[in-house]
Amino acid sequence: MDNQDQQAVAGAPTPALDDAPARLRLRDDAPFESPIAPLADFLAGGNFAAVRLEPGDDARALIPHFGRLKLIEVAFPKFRDGRGYSAARILREAGFSGEIRAAGDVLVDQLGFMRRVGFDSFAPNAPLDPGTVAATLDRFPHVYMKSSDGRPPVWALRHG
């Protein structure tokens, strides 16, 4: 069935591919660049200020170490794997205020959700169109539920 759908747009121009990941960062502080340790290495006691969580890693393992962490990168090997959304929100709920970066198969249509759960930087495999990014992040005037971005849910607006 998907083949039929592909044919519907055959002949349309293919967008240029850029090998270099295009970063998107929504923080005011200076970007932090240093080696990013896998979770096991980080917990083993290496002197790291940045760590990478894979989808199966438990974000709560980092809670005792927030004091020395500047950046937590959450891996999205496949955009359909939504575990990273819970990881980001758990980190924010536990009080982490450093950078949380979504890295990998990060698509523009996920940015709104990612922003809400607490991601504030993005390292997508493929570059994102700035216009589409802006439209996506600005899309919804209201939200129904609390998350980690401080936006008031509509019930708070309704009842002041």
151, 147, 24, 150: which is closest to 90 by C-alpha? 147
Query: Rounded to an integer, what is the distance from CA 113 to the centroid of its chain?
Result: 9
List all residues 6 or more positions away from 81 whose beta carbon is below 8 Å from its beta carbon.
55
Closer by beta carbon to other proteins, 98 or else 118 = 118
* Cα gap 54→56, rounded to integer Å: 6
Nearest distance from C-beta of residue 47 to other proteins, angstroms: 29
What count of other Cβ atoms lies within 10 Å of the Cβ of residue 68? Answer: 12
Nearest distance from C-beta of residue 143 to other proteins, angstroms: 7
Closer by beta carbon to other proteins, 51 or else 88 = 88
Written as one letter, the residue type at 64 is P
List all residues 6 or more positions away from 82 whose beta carbon is below 8 Å from its beta carbon.
none
Nearest distance from C-beta of residue 89 to other proteins, angstroms: 6
Closer by beta carbon to other proteins, 48 or else 114 = 114
Closer by beta carbon to other proteins, 40 or else 154 = 154
Nearest distance from C-beta of residue 48 to other proteins, angstroms: 24
Burial of 73 (0-12, 13-18, 19+ CB in 10 A): buried
Nearest distance from C-beta of residue 147 to other proteins, angstroms: 5
Interacting residues with other proteins (CB under 8 A): 1-2, 4-6, 8-9, 12-15, 55, 79-83, 85-86, 89, 93, 107, 109-110, 112-114, 116-117, 129, 132, 135-136, 139-147, 153-155, 157-159
Closer by beta carbon to other proteins, 48 or else 122 = 122
